[in-house]
Homo-oligomer: A and B are copies of this chain.
Amino acid sequence: MSNPLRVAIAGLGTVGAGTVSLLTKHRDLIARRAGRNVDIVAVSARNSEKDRGFSLNAYDWYDDPVAMVKEADIDLVAELVGGEEGVAKEVCKAAITVGRHVVTANKALMAMHGDALASEAEAVGVSLNYEAAIAGGIPIVKALREGLSGNQINRVYGILNGTCNYILTEMRENRISYEAVLAEAQKLGYAEADPSADVDGVDEAHKLALLASLTFGTRVDFAGVYTEGIRRISIEDIDYADEFGYRVKLLGSARMTENGLEQRVFPCMVSKDKAIANVDDAYNAVVVHGDFVDDTMYEGRGAGAGPTASAVVADIVDVARGFSVPTFGVPVADLINVESIPIERHWGACYIRLMVRDEPGVIADITAVFREEEISIESMLQRARSQTEAVPIVLTTHACEEAAMRRTLKRIGALDSVVEQPTMIRIETLN
């Protein structure tokens, strides 16, 4: 058996603590699998006094994680601090500079600075692994970089944020409003006090930008991801979706086309027949379509101490086994720049809900706008009638260009008989 792999852990929050307990609990198992011991030798966190359920006595303590990676006698640092700038970034940069391997769970950092860090890691000859940054415990980075390395892949999509998927599932199953589910999720620790990174789709966009780079061999282009969150989804829309045969999911989807790279994160309607439509609660799933392998799907928990630690440790074991793959599957110099396709050129069907005054001619006015914008309506539903209150009209369209849809909604929103801004949810065909 070779020398032990000496590991430092930067950050002892949920993920850091989970990683320490995994490496401790499965020390022997991992040694058998890795062919050598994996030893934690140093740790760093904000507070050395906090009770984390295990003793830190066996490890060298550092108040400053950057000093730790520079001074401690280590082979690898697990950066589990989080955040796209600041300490997390400094830890990774310092570690690479002094020739230490880096394993990180940090999607924000990788989405913003992954190319630059990967480039430095390559120059030095160390690994920069981030399995835990995308879809938690699902080994999707490994599947894309290695398991599907024989395929040209034209599309990858998935449910990449467990918090949003949990909220949408609860809304549908228990008919609880977005606000109420979010409050409950915050109480249970499934959602942050400031939930915006999750519910506005930013977290999923970070992950999607990484997935796209891995899949297409493109430079990470987080700025090119069109991002919409789930705040405006109502139980009403979820119910109508059900009636039309759909589930509402926050999907991250990337596609390589002749015209450029499409990267989108938005809530959308997905046919209930599709396996991904039935991935509920805090689960994540990723679908990859390769030209030889056809469709493959990967499903599991997207977050939490256990699943994330599982991914962090898999990355560590790869290093212990002496295995290194370029961060994005090919050397950074080989990553290509591809133009992003703006959302205005998105092409697809839509669901639209309008609140209107129930008066003669209203449907004629609305449908006239659709006709003039050359968008054809697939189905329309108006059930409730009321002399006094606004009633909903719900319709689905055939595929059209987003720019035309936006013009249409603007014009319809301006009609006197339409009393609220229209709600639009895209329908994804996923074939």
Chain A residues proximal to chain B, CB less than 8 Å? 18, 22-23, 26, 29-30, 32-35, 131, 137-139, 142-143, 146-152, 217, 275, 278-279, 290-301, 304, 306-307, 309-314, 317-318, 321-323, 325-326, 329-331, 334
Contact = CB atoms under 8 A, between A and B. Distances in A.
A43 B180 CA distance: 64
Contacts of A291: 306
B317 A146 contact: yes
Contacts of A314: 146-150
Nearest to A19: B150
Nearest to A330: B32
A292 B22 contact: yes
A296 B298 contact: yes
B330 A307 contact: no
Contacts of A329: 33
Given A32-B330, A301-B295, A26 B139 contact: no
A299 B137 CA distance: 16
A281 to B, nearest CB: 11
Nearest to A316: B150
A279 B299 CA distance: 13
A94 to B, nearest CB: 26
23 contacts: A22-B150, A26-B150, A26-B152, A30-B150, A32-B330, A34-B149, A137-B292, A137-B294, A139-B143, A147-B311, A149-B317, A150-B310, A150-B312, A275-B279, A290-B310, A292-B309, A294-B307, A295-B301, A297-B297, A298-B298, A298-B299, A321-B325, A323-B325
Given A32-B217, A149-B30, A300 B293 contact: yes
A296 B137 contact: yes
Nearest to A217: B32
Nearest to A141: B147
Given A142-B146, A292-B310, A294-B307, 19 more contacts: A22-B292, A29-B152, A32-B331, A131-B147, A137-B290, A137-B294, A139-B146, A143-B147, A146-B314, A146-B317, A148-B314, A149-B314, A150-B309, A150-B312, A150-B314, A151-B310, A293-B306, A297-B300, A321-B325
User: Nearest 5 pairs between A and B by C-beta?
Assistant: A139-B147, A150-B313, A296-B300, A137-B293, A293-B310
Nearest to A34: B149
Contact of A143 (B30, B35, B142): B142
Nearest to A145: B33
A149 B330 contact: no
